[in-house]
Structure 1
Amino acid sequence: MRRNLLAIKRDMTVVLGMCLLMLAGYFVIPGTPTLDTTNTQQITVQRGDTLWSIAQRVTHDTMDIRHYVYTVKQLNNLANEGDLQPGMVLQVPKLSNHSDKGSTYMAQN
């Protein structure tokens, strides 16, 4: 009987330890990047660029590109995508908790 009680305590300790490790991992692993509209960067529009193509280059895979495009439109007072012209300088939001993908596109001044 005593041996079974010790085995149960050991098993409960292992399960509790695993739960604590998973919970700690949840707080350590960075979440989805968010848009920082107070700290923007500039991107110069190239020929063939659209808001969607720019968003695909600079956002994280888990982000909703529609939200990024909407935010860029708001920051630059754009009514639609047809307003983009090569050479135009756009203010775009920076990503907080940016990923490797977000840092592959260089903002052009």
Structure 2
Amino acid sequence: MSKVLTAFIAAVFLAGYAVQPPEKTVPYKVTVRNGESVWDACAKVASSKDDVREVVYNTLKENHIKNPGDVQPGTELVIRVKEMK
């Protein structure tokens, strides 16, 4: 019985570590310039806390972009980056 109780308590504590609130993000509105890609636009606003690949992925998803090569100059993107503290 004590082994089961110990395993249950360990599982509860480990589950608490796995459920962490997501980091706060700050949205930026960026207009894509001539000759600029979505990656370039994201890299301009990303900080050292951000993984640019993750920022680009989330930007494509949030802005409903299926093909980043089709993004035209003048397109306004919402780019979310991690809040600096």
| Interval containing the TM-score (normalised by the shorter chain) | 0.5 to 0.7
Calculate the aligned-residue CA RMSD, in Å: 2.0
Corresponding position of 2:59: 72
Where does the alignment leave 5 or more consecutive residues of structure 2 unmatched? Answer: 1-22
Is the radius of gyration larger for structure 1 or structure 2?
Answer: 1
Q: Is 1:42–1:89's contact at 8 Å kept on the other side of the alignment? A: yes
| CA shift in 2, pair 1:35/1:55, >3 Å | farther
Corresponding position of 1:88: 75
Partner Cα separation in structure 2 for residue 35 and residue 92 of structure 1? 13
Partner Cα separation in structure 1 for residue 79 and residue 54 of structure 2? 12
Aligned length: 63
String of CA shifts for 1:21-59, please: whole Å, max 9, x gaps. xxxxxxxxxxxxx562xx522111100111111122111
TM-score normalized by the length of structure 1: 0.50
More divergent stretch after superposition (60-69 vs 84-93) = 60-69
Corresponding position of 1:14: none
Corresponding position of 2:42: 55
Q: Which amino acid aligns with 2:46?
A: T
Q: Which runs of 4+ in 1 moved over 4 A?
A: none
Q: Which amino acid aligns with 1:53?
A: D
| CA shift in 2, pair 1:43/1:51, >3 Å | same
